[in-house]
Amino acid sequence: MALRAEPPDGGWGWMVVLSAFFQSALVFGVLRSFGVFFVEFVAAFEEPAARVSWIASIGIAVQQFGSPVGSALSTKFGPRPVVMAGGILAALGMLLAAFATSLTHLYLSIGLLSGSGWALTFTPTLACLSRYFSRRRSLATGLALTGVGLSSFAFAPLFQWLLSQYAWRGALLLVSALSLHLVACGALLRPLSLAEDPVMGGPGAQLANLLHHGPFLRYTVALTLINTGYFIPYVHLVAHLRDLDWDPLPAAFLLSVAAISDPVGRVASGWLGDAVPGPVARLLMLWTTLTGVILALYPVAQAPTALVALTVAYGFTSGALTPVAFSVLPELVGTGKIYCGLGLVQMVESIGGLLGAPLSGYLRDVTGTYTASFVVAGAFLLAGSGVLITLPHFFCFSAPTSKPQDPVTEALDTKVPLPREGLGED
């Protein structure tokens, strides 16, 4: 690894963006399209919606709760072998799920095993990308995460077609084959050492600092609330449309409609995050608020035209909030602590991912419709927007956007030259 004073903002970083593009497609593209399997699992195992919802929720929660493990392993061994091992675990989980005879088997195979593989792939890749970019970090993240939207557009109807041709067991075997391509994504990652890394200390010192970092803790709470409602449409929108007497294929295709506007929102938001002065948290609050309002309006829409319009808007705003959500963290804690910080955030917000879909399914079982499910999901996102307002310099338009709000780092900066200046003086 070559020692650099600051992120190169390009170079091999664009290959890391390419790796993150396919990796995000093979992780969250699959998760977003997994609602197509939801109806099949309910019918195959004759279980209520709340219990079936735990499959995706456990997978999301394990992916996020296990992120600190992926971060720690990447710090020690580098992201490349960690992501490649994660790809093998993700594919193995889907393979074993094809032979499931009960929901418990799916909890263990898809939820636990594939979720563990996703934990070893997503966070190390995004953290590696953040270390390669500074001025163009939001744009690079937005481009990388467009893989989620584009794959959702392709995977939802593809999975529905596979179900009609090979049933759910055969479809899971082919999803396993797709997941194995995560190994190739990991091979593209090249670790980068920055001059500020020695100043930040080891993982233990970074963790202790983050746990006493007020803005970081508030940001973690905000993302946890957002995460609770964020995935509800991708788990229950198809089932909601089936309750409205939609046919299975058009219902699955509506998820693809969201996927059309999703990458547009990600790229536009990434460009705005780098171009608009001031903290990126303001953009995140805007997109989160709009997404929450759209979710709350879903039960009101009954006509197909209104549902399509809401889904296009949801795809844009939910896609737009993602790249700026990852760009806020380096502003708060600095690039040197991005592995530890991102892993810790992902672990805590897994609480939202774990409870969101089962709560939505429970409300469906109690009320008989998904009205309360979508309204509550929107309320969680609006609550997260309220917490974001408390972040430092939120209302100060002249505040710098690249300096981390970290009292320990600021104290160190008074004694240690900044990397850019210190390298020249040496």
Q: What does the pLDDT look like over 321-362, one tens digit per residue? A: 888 888 888 888 877 777 788 888 878 887 887 788 888 888
Which pair of tokens denotes residue 304?
A: 């197909």
Q: What is the structure's pLDDT at 421?
A: 38
Cα(229)–Cα(378) distance, integer angstroms: 6
Mean pLDDT by 10 residues, the chain (426 residues): 64 89 89 81 82 82 83 83 94 93 91 92 87 83 82 82 90 93 92 67 74 88 90 81 81 78 86 79 91 91 87 90 84 77 82 81 86 91 92 66 44 39 37
Q: What is the structure's pLDDT at 20?
A: 92
Residues 6+ apart with CB under 8 A from 154: 29, 256, 259
Q: Does domain 7-192 have CATH number 1.20.1250.20?
A: yes
Q: What is the structure's pLDDT at 387?
A: 92
Cα(192)–Cα(172) distance, integer angstroms: 36
- Torsion region of 325: left, alpha or beta (phi above 0 gives left; psi -120 to 50 gives alpha): alpha
Q: What is the structure's pLDDT at 414?
A: 38
pLDDT tens per residue, range 117-143: 999 998 889 888 888 887 888 888 888
The reported pTM is 0.72
Residues 6+ apart with CB under 8 A from 423: 5, 195
Residues 6+ apart with CB under 8 A from 201: 209
In the chain the first and final C-alpha atoms are separated, in Å, by 20
Cα(418)–Cα(412) distance, integer angstroms: 10
Question: What type of residue sits at position 139?
Answer: L
Residues 377, 271, 394, 391, Cα dihedral to 10°: 60
HEC string of the chain? CCEECCCCCCCCHHHHHHHHHHHHHHHHHHHHCCHHHHHHHHHHHCCCHHHHHHHHHHHHHHHHHCHHHHHHHHHHHCHHHHHHHHHHHHHHHHHHHCCCCCHHHHHHHHHHHHHHHHHHHHHHHHHHHHHHCCCCHHHHHHHHHHHHHHHHHHHHHHHHHHHHHHHHHHHHHHHHHHHCCHHHHHHCCCCCEECCHHHHCCHHHHHHHHHCCHHHHHHHHHHHHHHHHHCHHHHHHHHHHHHCCCCHHHHHHHHHHHHHHHHHHHHHHHHHHHHCCCCCHHHHHHHHHHHHHHHHHHHHCCCHHHHHHHHHHHHHHHHHHHHHHHHHHHHHHCHHHHHHHHHHHHHHHHHHHHHHHHHHHHHHHHHCCCHHHHHHHHHHHHHHHHHHCCCCCCCCCCCCCCCCCCHHHHHHHCCCCCHHHHHHHC
Q: Which residues of 172-183 are buried (b: 16+ CB within 10 A; e: fewer)?
A: bebbbebbbebb
Q: What is the structure's pLDDT at 417?
A: 40
Q: What is the structure's pLDDT at 383?
A: 94
Cα(375)–Cα(378) distance, integer angstroms: 5
Cα(90)–Cα(27) distance, integer angstroms: 9
Q: What is the structure's pLDDT at 295?
A: 92
Cite the residue boundaries of each domain of the chain with CATH code 1.20.1250.20.
Answer: 7-192, 198-398
Which pair of tokens denotes residue 326?
A: 């990852």
Q: What is the structure's pLDDT at 177?
A: 94
Give the bridge partners for 193, in sequence order: 3
Cα(329)–Cα(34) distance, integer angstroms: 29
Q: Does domain 198-398 have CATH number 1.20.1250.20?
A: yes
Query: Any idea which residue has 């808007």 for tokens?
Result: 313
